[in-house]
Structures are given as structure tokens and as C-alpha cells.
Structure 1
Amino acid sequence: MQPSGTELTDAELKSYLLGLLARRDYSERELTQKLRQKQVAAEQAEALLRWLKGRGYQSNGRYARQLIQAKLHKGYGWFYINQLCAEQGLEKSLVQAVLDELNVDWLSIALDAYQKKYADKPIVDYQDKQKRMRYLQSRGFDGQVIQQLFKQL
């Protein structure tokens, strides 16, 4: 927080934001929160975000693509990814467009996550199967994908 009476100039704030974006992409919501922590007025924050977007430094589309690809690579399902993107302030239509563009094979991702966790260990009993199904559900996979996966096993 800034000491009272010392407001940051636009140039200082632009430098701060560019420094953040140099390390990784941020959603518009995250950058707004960062500016709020610095006690930047809402109108000034909006102007700064417009400046970043206008020059291509910040893009929710690029951020969504990177976030989704990272979570797919780590073996997360549709529900988890949608929830995470909503928390980051990304519009559902943007998230769906990215998922459509990536042409995600949810069954393949679920199978990879399952094999990473359980390898080739056989299912011992019904409770073990239920435990494994809950694991996949907690990773964000829907019931249909989980059922398909267990039919394949």
C-alpha cells in the first residue's frame, strides 16, 4: 500500500503493470485487483487496462488459452477448468471458444490422469472403483467421461 498522499503516476503504474506482464500473463480481473491493492481509482485503472489491451500487452483470450492448456496438461476436466476460468473473470463464451479451438479429447485426458494416479493397479473391489471414480470427479470430469473410461479399462 502506498503511504497516504503519494499517488503513483500513470507512468509508474504502466511500468508496474508491464513488469507484472513480463513475468506471466494476467487476466483483466487479476490486474484490476493488483491496481486496487495500490489504491488506484477505478477510472484510472480502467484507462490503464484499455492502454494495455490496445497495445496487445494484455489479452483475456491469450490468458484463457494458456490457463486452459496448462490445466489440460495437468489432467483436469471440463468442470474444474470452467470453474477456474470463472474465478479469473473469463467469460463462458471465451472459455468455450478456446476449448472448441483446442478440440479437447476429454476421455484421453481423463485416462492420462487416471493412469498417472493408479498406473496398472487392478481395481480391488466396488469401494476401490468408487474411490477412483470420485478422484476423477474431483479433477473435474463429468460422469459420462468417467463411465466411458471405466468401460475401456
Structure 2
Amino acid sequence: MADDPADADVSTVREHGIKLLARREHAPRELERKLRDRGYAADTVSEALADLIRDDLLSESRYAESFARQRAERGQGRVRIQAELTQRGIGDGHIEQALAELDVDWAASARAQRRKRFGPDLPDTLRERARQTRFLQQRGFDSDDIRAALRSE
């Protein structure tokens, strides 16, 4: 059966990968999963991914930069961005490089997220302070950034 994805050659899988990459950057692991979910054979997918990486069409560092920038712009903290990139199979070196290249004042970002959610007034009770701290932790800010966000400016 000629239309069976399991019988597809490397160039067919590669073309499918290029179509997915044309829409947005993908992590190698994510692209592999998408191609495998389409029914392509594992060895064919691996070979096609190797070709895409060799031709610089698929790049962990480019994906990490794009992802980190997008998440920082949405007000997420460094810790969360790092964890999500790790979950997506991006290497520590690429993650550190992507975070270092971001021009983000993390404390100011935490302050902005706190103000956006809770208003301009700082918490006046221990319970409210704990609530705002948890919110900022869930957004992925570290303890130094959270302390800065909860201090008067």
C-alpha cells in the first residue's frame, strides 16, 4: 500500500517536517513525536530529523530562544521557562544561553505581574503576602525576584 506512512521514505518525512517548521519553531523531541504520531517509521523519522538539523532547519538553540522570549513577554519567570524547556528536551546549555540573551529585568517583571494581578498596594497581612508569593512562584519567579516584587518601590 503506497499511502502507508510507515513505508514513507526519508524525503517525504523531511518534507512533512519542513511544513511543520514553516508554521513555527519546534523542539527536536516535539517534531519527532508529531512525525511518529503521523505513523512514520522511527528510523525514517530519526534520519529525517538528522537531515533537518544538519541543514540548520531544526535547531534546539533557536527553539529555546524563541520559546524563552515568548514566555518572558507573557510575564513568566526564569524558573518556569527553564523547567518548561527542560521538559521539552532542550539541553541545559541551550537553555542557559537563551535566558542569558534575554534582556529582562526579572524583578521588574515580577513587580509588574504582581501589580497586574493584585493592584498597586503591597500586601498588608501575612496571609495576603503568602498568597501573592504563591502566585509569583507559580509564574516561575525565584525568591529574590519575589522579595523585590513585594518590597515598596
Unaligned runs of 5+ in 2: none
> Residues of 1 paired with 2:32 and 2:26: CA distance?
10
User: What are the within-5 Å matches in structure 2 for residues 99-114 of structure 1?
Assistant: 99-114=99-114
- Give the TM-score of the pair, scaled to structure 2: 0.88
> Residues of 2 paired with 1:41 and 1:47: CA distance?
10
- Cα RMSD after superposing both structures: 2.1
> Residues of 2 paired with 1:4 and 1:19: CA distance?
19
Q: Which residue of structure 1 aligns with residue 60 of structure 2? A: 60
Distance 1:116-1:53 versus aligned 2 partners, 3 A rule = same
* 1:30-50 residue CA offsets vs partner (Å, 9 max, x unmatched): 011112213333332221012
Question: Cα distance, 1:8 vs. partner?
Answer: 2.0
- Give the TM-score of the pair, scaled to structure 1: 0.88
Q: Which residue of structure 1 aligns with residue 148 of structure 2? A: 148
Counterpart check, 1:94 vs 2:88: no
Distance 1:16-1:99 versus aligned 2 partners, 3 A rule = same
Tell me which amino acid in the other structure corresponds to 2:19: G
The 8 Å contact of residues 27 and 89 in structure 2, kept in 1 or not, is answered as: yes
Unaligned runs of 5+ in 1: none
Tell me which amino acid in the other structure corresponds to 2:108: S
**Percent identity of equivalent pairs:** 26
Q: Which residue of structure 1 aligns with residue 16 of structure 2? A: 16
Q: Which residue of structure 1 aligns with residue 129 of structure 2? A: 129
> Residues of 2 paired with 1:90 and 1:73: CA distance?
20
Distance 1:126-1:6 versus aligned 2 partners, 3 A rule = closer
Partner SS for 1:123: coil
Question: Cα distance, 1:109 vs. partner?
Answer: 1.4
**Count of equivalent residues:** 152
